[in-house]
Structure 1
Amino acid sequence: MPSMEDLCLGCMKEKGGKAVCPHCGYEETEQKAPALALRTLLQKRYLVGKLLSSNGAATSYLGWDESSMSPVVIREFFPTTLAQRDEDGLTLKVLAGCEGPFQDGLDEFLKLSRILGRMRNQPAVVPVYDIFEINGTAYNVSGWEEGVHLDQWLPKHGGHLSWDEARALLMPVLYAVEAFHSMGMLHLGICPQNLVVTQNGRMQLAGFHINQVHIARSDLTPVFYPGYTALEQMKPDQDIGPWSDVYGLGATLFTMLTGYIPKDAVARQEDEKLLIPSSVAASIPQQVAAAMAKAMRLDSTHRTKTVEQMRKELSVSPNVTGVLQEMEREEKTQATQVIDSTKAAAPAVSPSSPSRKEKEQKKWIIALGISSGLLFVLCVVLMIVLFAQGDKGADVSREVSSEASSMVSSEESSQDPALNHITPTMVGREYEDLMEQNPWSYVEIELAGEVFDDSVPEGTIAKQEPEPDTPIETGETVKVYLSKGPYMRKVPNVRGKSAVEAILELTKEGFSCQVVEQSSDTVPDGQVIQTDPPSKEEMEYGSEVFVYVSDYNPPASSKSSSSRASSSRSSQSELNPSEEEGSSSSRGSFWDSLFGSNESSSR
């Protein structure tokens, strides 16, 4: 059990009686106000350590849980524009006239904390496990893991990733954000600075704060992330929603795949096209580039609306050319609207050529005129017959009128193309193929979701609305649902593969992964020893699989021949210390290759 007096408040490891921590180099000095003082004890349980971050709405500290004897992150609701620290160094005093906004922010902080507490099944989020209100404000506490922020991790791994590498890291984050949205909350700060690659092979989303921190219309000083913040967040009169987080995810993926920070949304208003370096463009799958472009549309009405939709489009999506053509059409439409408005304001010089719509309207007017003329003639004939034949003629007129009405109705029906179509059968077809070339020009096709289905291959259309062979009007939308494959999946055999390869394969099969390092003297360093559950066992989609990776410790017999030539006693006395050193240092070879150097940052 570590001594509290000897605990480093910069990394929560024992310092060994030294003033400067030998593990992280932190030297304990007075914490600058208005941060809480070092070693403040909250709830008689949580020891306050180094200040991690402060964004004008909340302050985060590294802490120590004296109950579980483990490091934690302590977050304090502290809106610096609405409150200040009292003389006791603990209590918050709300500024005069700011009581309403402070209480609103406090309520949202508590709601956010409770929701994060319910996200224990999301490996891409460190859940909150304690919430309390003291000192005139509120706090939440979550676990803490060492890791490297993505913006620092990427340069140590070639600057950018392949799609397969990025997919393994990003997909769990997409699922977590999707779950977060389903609970009625937004993140609004998704970027490489708020994503942490941990030592167990996961990427976790951090930086959860109340929404007022990341929007222009707020009583707080807004915090934006150039290149990653959506345009609507920086304008006071725009609607924000899940699509705003979609922009941050798309921009983050852009950085992961290219190594470049995207151009800021404000600067992109001049030209919103994304320029991908030619050196990496060829390696990005076409559907990924298209989905990324749609996720980063400046106009939120044309952007991918939900994270679920983005996740699907990363697998099946219109090609890049289609997206660029769509953007060009919108630009032309906007230009046409400007020209039309200019013409409307200027005096007419010459009549403009009629539009297609106007031509269609004229055709209908002519058709209606002809129909009206025919009906008029028919009525005149009927009146003549009526006067000539009396009551009998009246009966005939009613009969003829009914027949004429039926004939007109039938003629109108035959001319109405909306009543001449039935819903085509799309089940079993490839969605991507349909989007590239829609064989049914009279309907629109919309990707509406996914369903588990054993009868059709994963990724193909499993369900559609309306049902096939039912009447459909021209221009109506057919919603299609892709098959997610079977709900029960067999765990693939990943023994002998690297951790990254195993994570990729398991994630592709729909499982989440937990990497556990295990000492082995037979399996090479960094290779998978086994999984739990073992391969071929059936598990529910989304289940967690533990992947045990070798931390190679060679046996004494594998040492050099010169060591073996020594006496057994002297050999033992020399080898035992080296083996002990190896057990602590051999971690570096595998994890350094996967996660860079041992330098790490904490949330």
Structure 2
Amino acid sequence: MDRERKVTALPNQIICDNCMSCVDEGLAECPFCGAKFENRNPRGTLPAYSLLAGRYTIGACIAVDGEGVTYQAIDVTNAHRVVIKEYVPVTMCAARTREGAVVPRAGKEVMFKTTRMDFVDLYRSLVTLGRTEGLVTVLDLVETNNTAYAVREPDEGETLQAYLDAREEPLTQEEALMLLRPVVYGVEAMHRMGLLHRGISPETVFITPAGAKLSGYATLGLRNAGGELKSQLVDGYAAPEQYAVAEFDGKYTDIYSLGALFYRALTGHTPLAANLRRMNDNMLPAHRVNRELPGYVSTAIGRAMRLNPSERPQSASDLLAAITTPTRLDSKFHLTSRQWKFVAIAAGGLLLVILLSVWAILSAVGGGEESSSSSVSTSASASQSQSSSAQSSSSQSVAEKVSVPNFVGNLYQDIIDSDTYKETFLFTTEYEYSDDYDEGKVIRQEPAFGTKVSPGATIKLYVSKGPEYATIPTNIVGLSKGDAQQLLRENNILFEIVETDNPDGKYTAYTVVKTEPEVGQKVKMNETVVKVYVAKEATSTSSESTPPPASSSSSSQDGTTSSSSSDGQTPSA
């Protein structure tokens, strides 16, 4: 990761990608390290070492797809490396002016503007979403050159595809859940924003030191066949509706891809392409490929990959819960062992009624007129028997109904681990933030407490993800840098240390002076980055002031950053 520092770049200055120094745009080489500024980007793309929007130094072109061009780049305001995607659809754009503006093809002007708006809406929403677990962060959206540019973090680590290819055997259930759970959470966060990914595959998931992250964002046009853009679908992971122009996608589209991701991780095999499955669905269930896989996990994956979207789980959290626990509804026609007993009893009663009816008919035919009264009597008796049996069955059915317990306030894990509840109910879950309930506890339930339901009924539990916001501690001002960092970590608050001048020793060296936002303000946990201003040594020389040990710039596990450099020098605030 690049060293955290503030860079003062003059207008029309770029950053050398070799030594990270600010230099004037247009030079042939870096005056500080001698690196050559050679433009090797393909014709029609932005030239390397040019400045975009006065802020981003364009680097090498790293990818081209039906939606546009992707570049390496550097943000000159903080010397951070980023990735920029430029919306330049090859099917709609004809050329580029000398100044860099994109020119649409004749007759495609309206379509270009419409699809460009889709691109802008997608990435503007992703910027709003901010730093989210399991997702590569989109940092900025720039509209210039008659098009739009999305700025995001670089992809770190290796792809999930490379990671799985390097293994000699499939992941275990525990390994797959630990690895892919952040991605599921990230997809759920996108869905809450009304966004779809449509391109989830082992090539768009990256294994990083901070956990798996989903990248590869794109608009609808790139991820659906038959549209205006040159589509880009990954066979085996794209949902069947993505291959048909007339069909609509939805959250269930990403659910299919997540199911396919788990299939690949747990079996070691790429799923059969959805368009081929529609012609001949001979894809083996996951437990048939990996015999050690629990049946309920295979069933959950199978449901997620149903060809009919309405038969799939309708949320990413439902899929995750189904793969995690065996008490999930795994089929539309699933019956518990207790329900099978009821079916067997009902079938036996029905068979008895049929036999009695056949016997009565045969008796009537064989006995003629002399036995007619007897037959009538027998039929009446049989009818009464049927009526009595039906009433008995009805009363038994009513008697068998059970009251829904009060799950609110209880731990979700305790509920699903209970043998009593396993035998009686099936559970679906949805996760929400809550200030009133600890993480993992049930916030509310459907149906409500006390409702009479049949055994095997599905209960929906809303489970707490814990509070969404934390308050910046008021006692942080005056603490040492180390104590402040520990306090913020304990409160799940991301932070950035900024060292500030300390004229005439106004503050104790290396203590917190202030924060932005101010103390007492609420911020989103694990998302909002709080700036913590720490006083430098006093400007005047003091024998009592001792600098802290030098430490290299690093990023901690919880995403916090330190701004001290490896040589002990302090970057400007």
TM-score normalised to structure 1 length:
0.57
Q: Which residue identity lines up with residue 96 of structure 2 in the other structure?
A: D
Q: Structure 1 residues 162, 131: closer, same or farther in 2, change over 3 A? A: same
Q: Give SS of 1:301's match.
A: helix
Q: CA deviation at 1:44?
A: 2.1
Give the counterpart letter for 1:480 in structure 2.
K
Q: Residues 424-463 of structure 1 correspond to what in structure 2 (within 5 A)?
A: 424-425=404-405, 427=407, 430-431=415-416, 439=424, 447-450=428-431, 463=444
Q: Is the 8 A contact 1:458 1:482 kept in 2?
A: no
**8 Å CA contact 2:241, 2:249 repeated in 1:** yes
3-state secondary structure, aligned to 1:193: coil
Q: How far did residue 155 of structure 1 move?
A: 2.5
Letter in structure 2 aligned against 1:245? D
How far apart are 1:461 and its partner, in Å? Answer: 7.2
Query: Given residue 93 of structure 2, which amino acid in structure 1 is its aligned partner?
Result: A
SS at match of 2:84: strand
- 1:106-125 aligned within 5 A: 106-125=116-135
Aligned match of 1:264 = 273
1:310 deviation in Å? 1.1
| Amino acid corresponding to residue 192 of structure 2 in structure 1 | S
Residue in structure 2 matched with residue 521 of structure 1 by the alignment: none
SS of residue in 2 equivalent to 1:289:
helix
CA deviation after TM superposition for structure 1 residue 246, in Å: 0.8
Question: Which residue of structure 2 aligns with residue 466 of structure 1?
Answer: 447
What runs of 5+ residues in structure 1 fail to find an aligned partner? 20-26, 328-355, 361-411, 489-510, 515-539, 547-582, 585-603
Q: Which of these residues, 239, 257, 262, is aligned with residue 253 of structure 1?
A: 262
Unpaired segments ≥5 residues, structure 2: 1-6, 23-29, 336-349, 355-390, 469-491, 496-522, 530-551, 554-573
Identity %: 25
Q: Do 1:131 and 1:138's aligned partners in 2 also have CA atoms closer than 8 Å?
A: yes
* Match 1:298 to one of 302, 307, 324: 307
Match of 2:86 in 1: 76
Alignment partner, residue 195 of structure 1: 205
Confirm or deny that 1:62 pairs with 2:72.
yes
Preserved contact between residue 47 and residue 65 of structure 1 (Cα < 8 Å):
yes
Larger Rg, first or second structure (1 or 2): 1
The 1:542/1:168 distance shift into structure 2, 3 A limit, reads farther
Equivalents in 1 of 2:54, 2:465: separation in Å?
51
Give the equivalent residue in structure 2 for 1:97.
Answer: 107
Q: CA deviation at 1:185?
A: 1.1
**Residue-by-residue CA offset, 1:54-110 (whole Å, 9 max, x unaligned):** 221132110112221121111111122122223427211122332332222122211
Q: 1:460 to 1:91 in 2, by over 3 A?
A: closer
Shift of 1:513: 11
Matched, 1:224 2:245: no
Q: Does 1:274 align with 2:255?
A: no
CA drift of 1:122 comes to: 0.7
- Answer whether contact 1:74 1:139 (CA < 8 A) is retained: yes
Paired letter, 2:160: L
When the two structures are aligned, how many residues end up with a matched partner? Answer: 411
Letter of the 1:99 counterpart: E
Q: Deviations over 1:113-141 (max 9, x none)?
A: 22211233313223222222111111122
- In structure 2, relative to structure 1, the CA distance for the partners of 1:513 and 1:250 (3 Å cut) is farther
Distance across 2 between alignment mates of 1:300 and 1:281: 27
Deviations 1:257-299 (A, max 9, x none): 23221111122231254344878431x3444333222211122
CA distance in 2, matches of 1:425, 1:118: 40
Among candidates 39, 52, 67, match of residue 42 of structure 1? 52
Q: 1:31 aligns with which of 41, 45, 55?
A: 41
2:460 corresponds, among 475, 480, 504, to 480
Identify which of 95, 103, 106 aligns with 1:85: 95
1:347-377 Cα shifts (integer Å, max 9, x gaps): xxxxxxxxx9xx99xxxxxxxxxxxxxxxxx
SS in structure 2 opposite 1:118?
Answer: helix
Q: How far apart in 2 are the matches of 1:18 and 1:456?
A: 57
Matched, 1:186 2:207: no
What is the CA distance between 1:240 and its match in structure 2?
A: 0.8
Aligned residues of 1:290 and 1:317 also touching (Cα < 8 A): no
1:426-447 deviation line (CA, Å, top 9, x unaligned): 747844778997548xxxx562
Query: In structure 1, how many angstroms separate the alpha carbons of the residues matched to 2:421 and 2:403?
Result: 19
Could you tell me how far 1:158 is from its partner in structure 2?
4.0
1: distance between equivalents of 2:150 and 2:466? 39
Q: CA RMSD in A?
A: 4.9
Contact 2:129 2:193 in 1 (8 A): no
Name which of structure 1's ranges 226-235 and 67-76 shifts more when overlaid on structure 2: 67-76
Q: Is the 8 A contact 2:57 2:76 kept in 1?
A: yes
From 172, 176, 184, give the equivalent of 1:174.
184
